[in-house]
Amino acid sequence: MTDLSQLEADLTAAVAAAGDVAALETVRVSALGKSGSVSELLKTMGQLSPDERRERGPLINGLRDRITAAIAARKAELEAAELEARLAAERVDLTLPPPPERRGRVHPTMQVLDEMIAIFADMGFGLAEGPDIEDDFHNFTALNFPPKHPAREMHDTFWLPQNEAGERKLLRTHTSPVQVRVMQQGQNKKLPGWIAQGQAPPIRVIVPGRVYRSDSDATHTPMFHQMEGLVIDRNIHMGHLKWTLDAFTRRFFETDAVVTRFRPHHFPFTEPSCEMDVQCDRSGGSIKIGEGSDWLEILGGGMVHPKVLANCGLDPDEWQGFAFGLGIDRLGALKYGMPDLRDMFASDVRWLEHWGFSAFQAPNPATGLS
């Protein structure tokens, strides 16, 4: 009997003396663990005679239950004390100033895109989009690039590996394939296609997006942004194209001083075709518009070729219109004076901090956009 009372007294003292949860765990293992003192006692019960077991059994079980309860109670006590200590030590001082926070900036391309969308929206243009990964039909064939025609080579196309169907997809070299998608889907709403809805004529849409060409120098990057414009109606002519682009340019640059010139050009999908340049000064490491003797080409355009209309299911004797493709990044570089287009996509946060825009700036009076 004394051995049991002594053991209980020792264990109870050890539990009370445990100063933290880890020390208490050591006591628990020494008593109730696999070869703990109480566990060893329980094991001896098998060797006792029935009489002895009747007598000692309840005593040993009682000891085990009281020690288990004592450990649980001490554990709750210790945990509460530990929590109290942490709460006292880790108090948050709400009067401290917050740590400095780095503000993100809006990339100039996205700023310029918003400005352009606002101006064209004001002129009544809707918005359409198409996929970056295109097929040969939409990027070239439907746009009147004959198969194997050298004009396909001019585009420095990034081709994807051939797929199981023997087809090679490509990264679109311009946003013009979306002209095809808009016109086709306008004809047949059931045609599978990427954009949500096409439009039956009259059509007036802009199509912003990324385009890709294997080309890189100060005024070319392998990926850049274009905005396609497409207007189809019954009596549209070249004069509408020129007016639209001149009005857009003046509004975009927020000045009438900007000088543009239209040069005859060739695109397989427009006839006649032109390119538009903006006069600028590129000497001295930055670009200034409205002065100097340099010209920067910012867009191609023209009257949509009758074959393209026919390829998209429109009757060229009934419908005609113009299209243009503007370089968004170039327009931004011109407006905000960035000398090298490659910096735009170098992902240098210092560059972005310098040239980027605040997401919270005051609305721009020219566009009504912030």
In the complex, the residues that contact ligand PHE under the rule CB under 6 A are 174, 176, 228, 267, 270, 273, 300-302, 323-325
If the CB atoms of residues 199 and 270 are measured against ligand PHE, the closer one turns out to be 270
Q: Contact 216/222 with Cβ under 8 angstroms?
A: yes
Q: Contact 341/212 with Cβ under 8 angstroms?
A: no
Q: How far is the C-alpha of 240 from the C-alpha of 302, rounded, in Å? A: 10
Report the nearest approach of ligand PHE to the CB of residue 263 (Å).
13
If the CB atoms of residues 215 and 291 are measured against ligand PHE, the closer one turns out to be 215
Phi, psi angle pair for 277, to nearest 5°: -115, 155
CA dihedral 59, 61, 63, 66 (to 10 degrees): -130
If the CB atoms of residues 130 and 301 are measured against ligand PHE, the closer one turns out to be 301
Report the nearest approach of ligand PHE to the CB of residue 346 (Å).
23
Tokens representing 304 are: 């949509």
Report the nearest approach of ligand PHE to the CB of residue 139 (Å).
10
Report the nearest approach of ligand PHE to the CB of residue 163 (Å).
25
Q: How far is the C-alpha of 349 from the C-alpha of 352, rounded, in Å? A: 5
The number of beta carbons lying within 10 Å of the beta carbon of residue 344 is 23
If the CB atoms of residues 212 and 324 are measured against ligand PHE, the closer one turns out to be 324
Report the nearest approach of ligand PHE to the CB of residue 112 (Å).
17
If the CB atoms of residues 63 and 245 are measured against ligand PHE, the closer one turns out to be 245
Q: How far is the C-alpha of 262 from the C-alpha of 250, rounded, in Å? A: 15
If the CB atoms of residues 111 and 273 are measured against ligand PHE, the closer one turns out to be 273
Chain residue at closest Cβ approach to ligand PHE: 325
Report the nearest approach of ligand PHE to the CB of residue 322 (Å).
8
Q: How far is the C-alpha of 120 from the C-alpha of 369, rounded, in Å? A: 13
Angle between helices 21-32 and 37-44 (to 10 degrees): 20
